[in-house]
Structure 1
């Protein structure tokens, strides 16, 4: 199983990036919102899914990661240089825990649900999760949990609600941070 830290991007193409982090605890949402503002990359990064080629990283792109503390997923919204939403990806996680600071660690259950603004949905990571189960990197309970969560998300995802949520959280985290270079911000 992969243990990931929310506010890290592992792409060698990134040359200049700022991170902003906010903890939000309201009636509607309890969790973390991370924003990676990618200012400069050495080359654009693309993802191919079926017959689609999606640009996921380029100069002035934003990656907004929303992790509710009471859910088994985190949601990554990728926005282009004009803040247009290019895609959402729900990453299924086993659990998440606060590291004592303002970052979050989670156990990645490999499956993700990719959602595009045109309504296209695709489960990704199925070969990888089967390999992880075979290699005992995850157990059967985690495997079942990942598929159960992904099937629920696949049924309930609503594009209009995703747009509203993403725009609201982006506005919130940009409003919470005073300095462009600030790495931490409190809500």
Structure 2
């Protein structure tokens, strides 16, 4: 069974006070939902370590923009600090993106690509994908789809052709105007 991750992150207990907005866009270069979560007050900051690097991804005033492009096998979360600076892009490899009860979601295929503003690319959770295949949670075709999508995303990033990351600030501005 694949995990669904919802754009509103309503189950997230770390966030005590929040603002949230979402919309559907149909533009020449993007079709799908976008969501924006602003963490007004959190129980405690959250940082992640990538080797020797420590990156704060949640704190008071941080924003998470999530893009759910239609007919794609990925979803992108852009994490902004309280000053509006991008701290990282987190690209989930997924089976599909959809909507339930008006809230966008993606079905996680375990592999992730993290892109830091420095241009560094980090692959994540290959062991989790291997484990789900060996346990029969996913079949060989989903396993191959996940790796194929991961390789496609990494190639697009390395050739400066992964356009969703270029849209992050524009999409944030659209949603920031309608935050509730």
Count of matched residue pairs:
177
TM-score, length-normalised on structure 1? 0.88
**Whole-Å separation in 2 of the counterparts to 1:115 and 1:10:** 25
Q: How does 1:98-177 map to 2 (within 5 A)?
A: 98-99=99-100, 101-157=101-157, 158=160, 161=163, 164-175=166-177, 177=178
What is residue 185 of structure 1 aligned with on the other side? Answer: none
Cα displacement (A) at 1:160: 9.2
Structure 2: gaps of 5 or more residues: none
CA shift in 2, pair 1:9/1:156, >3 Å: farther
User: Structure 2 CA distance, aligned partners of 1:4 and 1:161?
Assistant: 22
Deviation of 1:9 after TM superposition, in Å, equals 5.4
Distance 2:152 2:32 in 1: 20
Q: In the TM superposition, what whole-angstrom CA distance separates every residue of 1:138-174 from its partner, at most 9, and x where no partner exists?
A: 1111111001000111011139955531111111112
Equivalent residues of 2:76, 2:164 under 8 A apart:
no
Shift of 1:112: 0.5
What do the CA deviations read for 1:108-138 (whole angstroms, capped 9, x no partner)? 1010100000010011011111111111111
Which runs of 5 or more structure 1 residues have no equivalent in the other structure? 182-187
Partner in structure 2 of residue 92 of structure 1: 93
Question: What is the RMSD computed on CA atoms of the aligned residues?
Answer: 1.8
Q: TM-score, structure 2 length as denominator?
A: 0.91
By relative contact order (CA 8 Å, sep 6+), the higher-ranking structure is 1
Residues 119, 159 of structure 1: 8 Å contact kept: no
Q: In structure 1, what is the equivalent of residue 15 of structure 2?
A: 14
**SS at structure 2 position matched to 1:23:** strand
Question: For residues 159 and 77 of structure 1, do their structure 2 counterparts lie closer, same or farther at Cα, with a shift above 3 Å needed?
Answer: farther
- 1:49 is displaced (CA, Å) by 1.4
Q: Does 1:44 align with 2:19?
A: no
